[in-house]
Chains A and B, each alone.
Chain A
Amino acid sequence: MNLAELQSPQHREHTFGLIDETAKREIRRATLKAVCVPGYQVPFASREMPLARGFGTGGLQLTLSMIGEGDTLKVIDQGSDESVNACNMRDLITRVCPGVEPTFKTEDASIFQTRHRIPETPMREDQTLVFQVPYPDALVVVEANEARRVQMHGEADYARLFVKLYEDIVQYDEITLSHRYPTRIHGHYIIDPSPIPRYDVPKLHQSKQLNLFGAGREKKIYAVPPYTEAKPLEFQDVNFRVEDHLDDSGRRLTCCKCGADNTFLDELVLTDGSRAYACSDTEYCRRMVMQAKAARQTEGGTP
């Protein structure tokens, strides 16, 4: 091989999974370590991806390092398969991974990459959920220096996080952390579960699926393995609370499309200024609508 050959058009083609094989191997090693030490942030030499930092390059590297021919991939952003970033991510991965099928259906996905949500449909042991993470370290709200944070994690020194929660209660009578809620994994490390709403945090606890977290810009990988404890921080007398989706009179809001009263809802501002609510998990919502339709048809009567 000479220089002219190296510059020829066929060498501009990408290998399967885009990143080179040694890089993939390094990411897999970091991932294995993360699974072995639940909640521990494993540093890795994050590569630049064709998507900008902040758009999910950590999750993307995790997915690309483990995806193979025959895998089925689902990508969501804010719960939706159709969000621009999800489309872009799915398009990129399927383009550089021939033989990988994209899907919208949660139950069909072998690898499920997400930004900001955990799906409503419970996942299985043979599925992997990959999270895109902007801030991997829950301690960053109380300590800016990374070297000091590493030591605090090692010593499970989380006192300042609890003080932060306590100060919230003193000041507002409420823990004001809305998303990225600090969660203790298997009794030691406290993780930032990525900007999922509090509503999704309990789904990490003793989950059937493997949860992998990738922070590309901050160059960290961590994991909540299947059947692992994941407990959001709380006090004995002040408990962790999820978004309750209650209206002003205290009634549970429902989805305007499928009628569900047990899902995380997006608030929609209508053109007349009024508010409506719809399932954030668009695929779940569509399935509920179809099921309801099918049920009506089997009953024999069409409305």
Chain B
Amino acid sequence: MSYVAIKGGETAIREAAELLQVLRTRGSAQGETPLSPEAIEHQLHFLHSQVMSEGGLYDPQLASLAVKQSLGDPMEAAFLLRASRSTRPRIANTPVIDTRKMRLIRRISSAFKDIPGGQMLGPTPDYTQRLFNWELLDESDESFRDKLVQWAEGLGVDSMAVGDDSPLPKVLDFLREQGLVDDAPDPCDEPFDITREPLVFPVDRSAALATMTRGQQGGIVALAYSNMRGYGDVHPTIAELRVGYVPVELAHPVTGEPTEAGEVLITECEVIAMYERADEAAAQRTGVGDTVEIDPEAPPRFTLGYGACFGHNEAKAIAMAILDRSLQKGMRDGPSNPSEDAEFVLLHIDGIDAMGFTVHYKMPHYVTFASDLDRLRKTQQQHADKQQATEAESPVTEEVVSP
């Protein structure tokens, strides 16, 4: 009875989990050693970043553990972080972080040839030739160490003290000074916390940004790409893309003064989109439902899209900024394509939701399938009965077969 096989029960689950460990450790007989959490954080930098970002939890050590435990499946790893997050209460809200204070490892603008503070390429594969580096196939401990030593010697520093501490102005700051883009919106008093409140549509921009920042990278990039290809009209220019560490402050438990509690690695992107009349730009700034004082004399201006996420995820931050802009348009005018439809975008980009529901089809479904069979057999019967009835009514004629 083959159906019994899927009801293996407790033993089957246990054995399957053990097999997963066998899969992970299968190289140990050949002397393979286990990955350390530090090695995952450093050598799988981008995977590690993606997992923290989609997990919505900034904890480098737990993220490494998640990557290791999930055998490198980014969605499973992000899922582990999320599930862990569910067991913890929210303790406090931090004040708004000023990303001008970012300790930069990378900062570029594609809108201008040069920017105050300078373009800073930093670590990026953008301009590498994607040819195999065969040395990595059999990298010795020595050459692994030498890479860092050589870099440090060339720089004249003795440690990995990367990053530029001096606050740099935003490219947007001087575009604003020149009246080319709208003033920054007032920060909302209380951000929408998607982990504590359900999304009930229409949602405000804070909820949309929060949903996108922990959205699945591939999903976000795909939807933003649809806008770029013609199902939309954002036509973005990257005003500024920053990667670096920002200080996170909390109210001091005794004095109440904002106190730096630590720092987090984030990627931030601001895109400029095609200009609009000032009244439309103002409508964008205030968000859903608010009435806008329209000044017909006001000059046209650029509009903005904003993306930011934990870790080093540039494609995600750019795509999120594009979707932020397209969603604002959709919220204002009604959606005219998928990337402008808040419900469509926000309910489908969560990797944990999407992956979970996709894999759930592997579970037994034989009761519902039995109902399906019952309906199909019944309608087949109805069909056969009907044909019999019509054949009985009319005399049988030879069927003409065309050559």
Contact = CB atoms under 8 A, between A and B. Distances in A.
Interface of A: 14-15, 18-23, 26, 43-50, 52-55, 57, 77-80, 82-85, 87-88, 91, 116-117, 134, 145-147, 172-174, 176-180, 195-199, 217, 219, 243-244, 264-271, 276, 280
Given A50-B83, A54-B361, A80-B7, 10 more contacts: A20-B89, A49-B83, A52-B359, A53-B352, A54-B360, A83-B9, A117-B367, A174-B375, A195-B368, A271-B1
A228 B3 CA distance: 36
Contact of B201 (A22, A47, A147, A271): A147
A43 B198 contact: yes
Given A55-B360, A271-B2, A84 B7 contact: yes
B10 A87 contact: yes
Interface of B: 1-4, 6-10, 12-13, 79, 82-83, 85-90, 194-202, 343, 347, 352-361, 363-368, 370-375, 378-379, 382-383, 386
Closest 4 pairs (CB-CB, A-B): A54-B360, A53-B356, A52-B356, A48-B82
A197 to B, nearest CB: 4
A145 B200 contact: no
A50 B86 CA distance: 9
A78 B82 contact: no
B199 A52 contact: no
A207 B4 CA distance: 32
Contacts of A80: 7
12 contacts: A45-B195, A45-B198, A54-B356, A85-B363, A87-B10, A117-B367, A173-B382, A195-B367, A197-B367, A217-B356, A266-B366, A266-B367
**Which one of B90, B352, B371 has the highest number of Cβ atoms from chain A below 10 Å of its Cβ?**
B371
Contact of A243 (B6, B83, B371): B371
Given A18-B87, A82-B7, A268-B3, A197 B195 contact: no
Contacts of B373: 267
Contact of B359 (A54, A195, A217, A244): A54
**Which one of A52, A55, A269 has the highest number of Cβ atoms from chain B below 10 Å of its Cβ?**
A52
Contacts of A20: 86-89
Contact of B367 (A15, A49, A116): A116
A172 B383 CA distance: 7
A50 to B, nearest CB: 5
A242 B211 CA distance: 42
Contact of A217 (B2, B353, B372, B382): B353
Interface majority SS (helix, strand, loop, mixed), chain A = loop
B368 A15 contact: no
A243 B375 CA distance: 8
B350 to A, nearest CB: 9
A23 B86 contact: yes
Contact of A87 (B13, B201, B383): B13
A59 to B, nearest CB: 13
Nearest to B11: A87
B366 A78 contact: yes
A70 B200 CA distance: 36
Given A22-B89, A45-B194, A270 B1 contact: yes
Given A45-B197, A84-B8, A219-B198, A176 B379 contact: yes
Given A18-B86, A82-B9, A87-B9, A46 B198 contact: yes
Contact of A173 (B7, B87, B363, B379): B379
Contacts of A276: 1
B1 A197 contact: no
Contacts of B88: 20
Contacts of B90: 22
Nearest to B75: A52
A198 B374 CA distance: 10
Contacts of A19: 86-87
Contacts of B360: 52-55, 134
Contacts of B2: 269-271
A47 B86 contact: yes
B371 A178 contact: yes
A48 B363 contact: no
Given A54-B356, A116-B368, A173-B382, A77 B363 contact: yes
A243 B374 contact: yes
Contacts of A91: 10, 13
B79 A48 contact: yes
A274 to B, nearest CB: 11
A196 B10 CA distance: 24
A280 B367 contact: yes
B371 A83 contact: no
A203 to B, nearest CB: 14
A173 B202 contact: no
A280 B3 CA distance: 12
Given A26-B196, A77-B363, A88-B13, A174 B356 contact: no
Nearest to B3: A268
B364 to A, nearest CB: 5
A78 B367 contact: yes
A110 to B, nearest CB: 22
Contacts of B372: 178-179
Contacts of A54: 356-361, 363
B357 A134 contact: yes
B91 to A, nearest CB: 10
Contacts of B370: 197, 243, 264-267, 280
Nearest to A90: B10
Contacts of B355: 52-53
Contacts of B3: 266, 268-269
A147 B343 contact: yes
B195 A47 contact: yes
A262 B88 CA distance: 47
